[in-house]
Amino acid sequence: MIKEKPKLPEQVPQHIAIIMDGNGRWAKQRGLPRLAGHRAGTDNLRRIIEACVEFGVKVLTIYAFSTENWGRPEEEVSGLMSIFDEVFERELAELHRQGAQLRHIGRLDGVRQSLREKVRRGMELTKNNDRLILNVAFNYGGRDEIVQAIKAMLKDGVDPNDVTEALVSRYLYTSDCPDPDLVIRTSGEQRISNFLIWQAAYAEWVFPETLWPDFGREQLLAAIQEFGRRERRYGLVLER
């Protein structure tokens, strides 16, 4: 089946960030355990990566696991780690084939050794790919990111008078990526949840009702089309 050529806006967001929400509700609606929803959610990621490459998106950042998620039931956390372990093992070759450059944002301390090694191996394998940068926010929290940036600046002896927004941005995990143009939170929930709280200050947000495992190419295209209808002002008043 030939895909219909997408009707893209004049300005396609170069950096899209996604809070992949709704896995648990997706599973509950089907009478399945929560981990089945998480597995379906990770399986869905390939569709979104392929669509981003098709639509000309250059950077995709996904919120995979937050610093707060460690507080979930031990069985769920352990299951999530096993799923992530399997996904890296299974999908790395496909990511590489798609021309995606894998990056990790967040902290790897506290993550099981096998998963840490797979993440590092994946970043090394794909480091020269340039069709899409895939930032995986894993063991990530926006406030923690800023705290780590402040600690690094203090360690480097930065003069307080030299601190600017540009300097702070260089100390963040996303230092060599543009700020996100569009942030999508699936499932209809309208919260930031400690995600890219510095970088997304002037991003456009959309909150589709679709649960993450069902969020595919057409839903992503609709979000991009909605972005194209927005007037981005960055706090200014535009003359007409």
pLDDT digits 0-9 by tens, 175-216: 999 999 999 999 999 999 999 999 999 999 999 999 999 999
Amino acid at 20: M
Topology of 15-228 in CATH?
Answer: Undecaprenyl pyrophosphate synthetase (3.40.1180)
* Distance separating alpha carbons of residues 21 and 9, to the nearest angstrom: 26
- The structure's pTM equals 0.92
The Cα 221–Cα 216 span in angstroms is 9
Question: What are the pLDDT digits (tens) for 124-181?
Answer: 999 999 999 999 999 999 999 999 999 999 999 999 999 999 999 999 999 999 999 9
pLDDT tens column, 76-113 = 888 888 888 888 878 888 899 989 999 999 998 878 88
pLDDT: which is higher, 224 or 5: 224
Any idea which residue has 């998106």 for tokens?
A: 57
What beta strand segments (E) does 20-151 contain?
A: 59-66, 100-105, 132-140
Residue 3, pLDDT score: 65
Taking CA 46 as the corner, what is the angle to CA 91 and CA 129, rounded to the nearest 5 degrees? 65
Enter the tokens of residue 214: 């069902």
Q: Output the pLDDT for position 234.
A: 65
- In the structure encoding, which two tokens stand for residue 59, read together? 């950077």
- Catalytic residues, by residue number, are 21, 69
- For residue 99, which amino acid is it? G
